[in-house]
Amino acid sequence: MRANSSDKSFVSDREPHPSPCPLPVRGEGDSSALDQVQEKPVRQSKQGSFDSEDRLPSRGEGRVRSESGNVHRQRHGDYFRDVAPPNLSWRGRVLMLLLNFIPAIHAACTLLLLLWPYARFPLRLAASLLFLYLAPPLVARTVLVVADFRERRIAVGSRSFFCWWTLFQLQVLFCRLPALEEVMRLIPGLYSQWLRLWGARIGRLTYWSAGTLMTDRSFLEIGHDVVFGAGVRLNAHVVAKDDAGRTELLLAPIKIGDGVTVGGYSLLTAGTEICSGEVTRAFLISPPFSVWKEGKRIREQQAVEK
């Protein structure tokens, strides 16, 4: 230690140990500066990380880095457990890569129909809009006829998985550009009718608030007089691990009964079912295959009388 006579503070020869709450330097006329600072309690866990009130890495959090450098984690209760990347063959990876070009092809064909001077502009505009909104759901209906989605748990790399991945890519352009759907919601009933083209079952007088997003439009079963709050997310698929540690796809329709009001900014996942007449709270996160009745979550195995 050496003293600095100019500012009467002490400077260490070594680099000081990092503190979760930095201390101010005591200067002249500030004798109570250190007395007003209270450090947050810090404890060292068995893994060598520090835990404090600032939610630093704690026991129970695990990370694994794959060969590609990506970190895969899955929430399990109050902890994270390691999730290995899906084991796809090289043919499966090539097929997924080719299917990833569907959104770009969709956008390119739409622009080509609009800009290529094969007819007058009003006719080109109508043709491009028809292709933009009708081609994906019609292709999706064909995929639904060929695919078999009766199983709720689908192995990654199976035929059903690639059929679902094709459906997902057909919807990417609308997920990337939500304004394309918001325009249709300006006309009452038009958006619900468009969802029926995808294979969804939509009841009458369904209200879609601004910001409602969905990733699996073919897996919706909505009753009559349903209201979706602002920012609701409908996600009928979840990627998880089975008991053997293999990555699998959980895919099941989201079912909402008559007269239901879904609170704003809620997330409904695969197999979620909300009984008729329910009014869910805002920011509701529904785990896969949950059944909601009388404001409570009911296990899937229990019988539910609607």
Q: What is the tens place of the pLDDT at every residue in 28-37?
A: 444 444 444 3
Residue 300: what pLDDT?
58
Domain ranges within the chain, ordered by starting residue: 90-298
pTM of the model: 0.70
Residue 22: what pLDDT?
46
**Residue with more model confidence, 274 or 89:** 274
With beta carbons less than 8 A apart as the criterion, state whether 184 and 194 touch.
Answer: yes
Tens of pLDDT, residues 168-209 = 999 999 999 999 999 999 999 999 999 999 999 999 999 999
Residue with token string 């201390």: 23
> Of the CATH numbers 2.160.10, 2.60.40, 3.30.70, 3.90.1580, which one belongs to the domain with range 90-298?
2.160.10
The single-letter DSSP state of residue 66 is -
CA distances from 209 to 24, 69, 301 (A): 50, 39, 32
- Summarize the confidence of residues 262-275 as an average pLDDT: 96
**Residue with more model confidence, 60 or 206:** 206
Say which residues have a Cβ less than 8 Å from residue 298's Cβ, sequence separation at least 6.
290, 291, 292, 304
Tens of pLDDT, residues 14-27 = 444 444 444 444 44
